[in-house]
Amino acid sequence: MDDRFNIRAFRALVIMATAVATLASVGPAYGQGAVTATPDASQGLRFDPSLSLDPTLPQVGAMPGGLTPAFGQRSLSEGEWRFDFHGYILAPLNAGINSRPNPGFNYYRNQPQPQPGQSKTVLHAPPVVPDDLETFSHTGVVPTTYVQLNFSEGNSVVTGNVSILAKQASVSEGFLEPAQQLGITDVFFSVLPPLGDRVHMQALLGAFTLRYGTAGEYDEGRYGTPLIARISGVGEHVALKTGWRKFTFVLEEGVHGQTNAASSSITPDVSNNFADAGSGGSFVAHVHAGVGYTYGGTGGMMGLHFLRAFSQDDRNGTSSPDGRIDVYAWDLRLNMGRFGHFYGATSYVDALQARSVSRIISVLNTQGGKGLMDNYLGPQSGGTGQLLIWGGQYDLSIGRLVSYPVPFSGDGPDLFVSLFCMGTHAWSTDKWSTYQSIDPNSQDSRLKFDKVMKMKFGIEATYSMLSWLAASVRFDRVDPNLDDTRYSFSVLSPKIIFHTGWQSTDQLVLQYSHWFNGPLTTVRVREPPVEDVTVVPDGDMVSLSARMWW
């Protein structure tokens, strides 16, 4: 036990040292701004840095071309009550292309495949590709349905917010998936008490989602994966900001719980999103501290984060131990003016008997402690293990860079480049686990969880050539296990993007993607999704997607 504590303490020290070193190394970047700022507190607050994303922002990855959703403007006075309606639509038609026979799907009946009346080429919707949101293999290359409608009513002090969300539209369903129609999802009100110019305070009360570690400037980044955690529950969140000269100081805290828990009599199926009776009622408490610095039109923000998710519930079995997930993290965000936007974060997740921790916390898009076990710690771990996560994203507009010192408004051709990466290293008590669907005696059937390092990186470049037309290409490389490249794969995705104006809020994207799969590149099939190495993934995908935000 002492050894384990020492190892954890050592890792925590390494993370902090890395954080300090990184901050020191990027320090000179602030000096590159050319504008002299007025050294007062309010100037510092104009940068208005934040450690988390606004709950009303869609939970999706970044759009191609560096576009970011800009939502409704708040009411400016206490006496003016304003109704606001904004939203986001992403509606893709995706077709995965493969060929018969596929050992994972066809049962041969002692007959060669394809049979008369069956084509050699097969079309899959949704595509059978390694892009499941919960897995490390998720790249976000495959656009998935997302519709969000936000309704709010309020003034400059208090606002009531309700959002309706769907990840499936009924008109196109091959079968009914009730859990994908989330319905009324967020219900909360925000309070902005007028505390003067030197202190800003925002309190959120109700049911909402918070995200920490979002790589994009205004979104979840290219992978659509918060690097620290996502918290979905009912509770409170308070953020305090104050300024001194060019510095801004941010302090946030929150406490969240859930409104229901699955009982042992419930049958897990698609209709209830596979309710997990093994999870107890869970809670999250979290604190965050950040310091920001502005210089002219540039600025930076460094944050330190601590989150604890825990469950101590006697309803999920007398032998089920209390579980917890602790997350220690730091992150750094740099808005470097014409030199672009950078975000980097490192997170250390320490899970102890976390099987009983519910979906109130999501680390790397997994669902609670069980999700961590399924994807990173292993089914035999009991939810005990550690996970080191690191990642970053850098976005640069070449048009803005080369037009300096003339301001670039975006009303012209531009080349937007984005670099992004993410990695994990897991320590687990589960040394080996076995796939369900292949021979357990085979070496290939064993899946390693302990001391596994995963890595992925990518680049996307979008050239906006006309007010209505842009072309984009994205390349991704994913190594789910750096020690065994048979699981690795790459994706190349050229796109043509149509929109109604240089700065329009709509896109029609025609995309082709090709996967360069390894011999053991694994996809998830069935419900609930499980990995099956016998399924040969689709190598190609064609997609036509429409999206708009307002």
Partner 1 sequence: MPFGQWTFRYSGYMSASFQGSIGERTAPVPGQSTTVFHVGPQTLDEYASFVGTNTMPGQWVGMNFTYGNGAVSANVSLNTWNPTAPTTYYQIGGQLFLLGAYLEFNIPQIGPLRPRVLAGYLGPFYGSLAEYGLGMYTNPMVGSPRGVGELTIIEYRLRPTLTLFVEHGIMGNRNGQAPINIVPTSWNGATSRTFPSAWIHHAHVILSRTGETEFRTGLHYLYSWSQDDRAQAAADNSTTREIYEDYIKDGSLTVLGWDATVRNSTWGYFGAGASYIQGENAFPLKGLNTFGGEGNNLTDRWWGPASGGNGKLFALGLNYNTSLGRMLRPSYSADAPDVAINAGFVMAYTLTNTLTAPGTGPVGAAPIPPSPLPEDVDTFNHRWRFKAALESVYTFRSWVGVALRADCVVPNSKEMSETFWVLAPRLVFRSNWVTHETFSITYGKWFYGPTSHPEANSIIPQTGRLDDQLIAFNVNMWW
Window of 32-40, 60-68, 512-520, 522-530 that interacts with partner 1 by CB under 8 A = 522-530
Nearer to partner 1, 94 or 362 (CB): 94
Amino acid code (one letter) for 424: T
- Out of 158, 270, 285, 289, point to the residue binding partner 1 (CB under 8 A): 270
How far apart are the C-alpha atoms of 480 and 521, rounded to whole Å? 9
Q: Give 403's contacts (C-beta < 8 A, 6+ positions apart).
A: none
Q: How far is the CB of 41 from partner 1 (least distance, A)?
A: 36
Q: Which stretch binds partner 1 (CB under 8 A): 143-151, 200-208, 404-412, 450-458?
A: 143-151
Confirm or reject binding of residue 405 to partner 1 (CB under 8 A): no
Instruction: Please answer whether residues 341 and 420 qualify as being in contact, where contact means their C-beta atoms are separated by less than 8 angstroms.
Output: no
Binding-site string for partner 1 from residue 152 to residue 191, where x marks contact by CB under 8 A and - marks none: ------------x-x-xxxxxxxxxxx-xx-x--------
- The answer to whether 450 contacts partner 1 (rule: CB under 8 A) is no
Q: Name the minimum Å distance from CB 468 to partner 1.
A: 9
Binding to partner 1 (CB under 8 A) within 84-113 occurs at 85, 87, 89, 91-95, 98, 100-102, 105-107, 109-113
Closest distance of CB 349 from partner 1, Å: 30
Maximal C-alpha separation, the chain: 80
Stretch of 145-153, 287-295, 296-304, 410-418 contacting partner 1, by CB under 8 A = 145-153
**How many residues line the site for partner 1 (CB under 8 A)?**
70
Residue 147 CB, shortest distance to partner 1, in Å, is 5
User: Is the Cβ of residue 275 or residue 307 nearer to partner 1 in the bound state?
Assistant: 275
For residues 11 to 50, the per-residue mask of contacts with partner 1, x marking binding by CB under 8 A and - elsewhere, is ----------------------------------------
Report the nearest approach of partner 1 to the CB of residue 467 (Å): 11
Report, in Å, the least distance between residue 171 CB and partner 1.
5
**Which residues are paired to 457 by β-bridges?**
421, 477
CA angle, 476 then 478 then 479, to 5°: 155
Torsion on CA atoms 51, 57, 59, 63, rounded to nearest 10: -100
Rounded to the nearest 10°, the torsion over CA 120, 121, 127, 131 is 80
Cα distance between residue 267 and residue 65, in whole Å: 44
Residue 14 CA to residue 12 CA, distance in Å, equals: 5
Report yes or no: 377 and 430 within 8 Å, Cβ to Cβ.
yes
**Among residues 124, 245, 308, 486, which is the contact residue for partner 1, using CB under 8 A?**
124
Taking the mean position of all CA atoms in its chain, how far away is CA 442? 35
Angle CA 362–388–515, to nearest 5: 75
Peptide bond into 528 cis (omega under 30): yes
Q: Among residues 137, 148, 143, which one has the least CA distance to residue 125?
A: 143
9 or 176: CB nearest partner 1: 176
CB of residue 161 to partner 1, shortest distance in Å: 16
- The CA angle 294-297-300, to the nearest 5 degrees, is 35
269 binds partner 1 (CB under 8 A): yes
**Cα separation values, 342 from 44, 345, 393, Å:** 20, 10, 6
3-state secondary structure of 28: helix
Q: How far is the CB of 409 from partner 1 (least distance, A)?
A: 18
Q: Residue 151 CB, nearest distance to partner 1 (Å)? A: 10
Summarize the chain as % helix, strand, coil (round to 5): 15, 45, 40
**Residue 76 touching partner 1 (CB under 8 A):** no
Using rule CB under 8 A, residue 504 touches partner 1: yes
Q: List residues binding partner 1 (CB under 8 A).
A: 85, 87, 89, 91-95, 98, 100-102, 105-107, 109-119, 121-126, 128, 145, 147, 149, 164, 166, 168-178, 180-181, 183, 269-271, 498, 500-501, 504, 506, 508, 525-527, 544-548, 550
